[in-house]
Amino acid sequence: MEIVASFAATSLIALIHILVGHRAFKPREGSAWLSAAGGASVAYVFIYVLPKLARKQELVDEHIGFGVLSYLEHHVYLVAMIGLIFYHSIHRIAEFATVQRTGNKTGHANLAAILHIGSFLLYGFIIGHLFANFLQKTYMPLALASVTFALHFIGTDLELKHKYQAFYADRVRWLLVASLYVGWLVGELTVVPVSTEILLFSFLAGAIIINVMREEIPQETQIQMLAFLGGAVAYAILVLFAFEYVFELI
């Protein structure tokens, strides 16, 4: 049943890529449900991701052992910072590509676009891989993670769709779907040390933080504040309730 659950979680996110990439999907800018989804994603970062990093540091101490990875024994947050810096840098490169394309310098623009899209393929690959090797053995945390990432990808996919337009609908969304399933398949077919899984999550956590704060918090002129706050508060309550009464989040 675990393989079915992880495949279903991966498929939920794949469905978001497909739906958002469809030309008919044109949500109104600043719509209430998009603002609520952004608020939920922000709550996920601060209520779930950051505390989970602290718990995972303890697991690293227990499992990492010796060798090259032993250097990272006390550096889970360092790996998260690397993920944050990496995705922030990629975003800056993507902005550079827009400027270059405006100036008819398509060579640099195309390379920057490849790096930008490739970074989100890596993003999806890691998520699929982690879903296949989810450390928690109960299904509720996996369900929580899949719903949260689905909300998160609505924002990131809309940004990619806006930037790449028809190219996103025709090709990029299918590449994103493929990266998810490839990551999931590799995760199911290979056995990876617990410490490696934790470091992958740490890198992903840094990426989540920068992408959520950049892509999913609308500009002040667009945001519907009540919807954003409602999404954040409701999701925070859900996660805290789950933490206290339903299952232990690690």
Mean pLDDT for the stretch of residues 207-232: 73
Residue range 41-85, pLDDT digits in tens: 788 778 877 777 777 666 666 655 555 555 555 577 888 889 999
Residue range 124-173, pLDDT digits in tens: 999 999 898 875 556 777 888 888 888 888 888 888 888 888 788 888 99
Burial bucket for residue 146 (CB in 10 Å: 0-12, 13-18, 19+): buried
Length of the chain: 250
Determine the 3-state secondary structure of 28 from DSSP: coil
Q: Which of 232, 177, 224 is nearest to 40 (CA)?
A: 232
Residue 72, domain extent: 2-21+29-246
Say what the pTM is: 0.82
**What domain count does the chain have?**
1
Burial bucket for residue 245 (CB in 10 Å: 0-12, 13-18, 19+): exposed
Residue range 76-94, pLDDT digits in tens: 788 888 999 999 998 888 7
Q: Which of 12, 18, 32, 20 is nearest to 159 (CA)?
A: 20
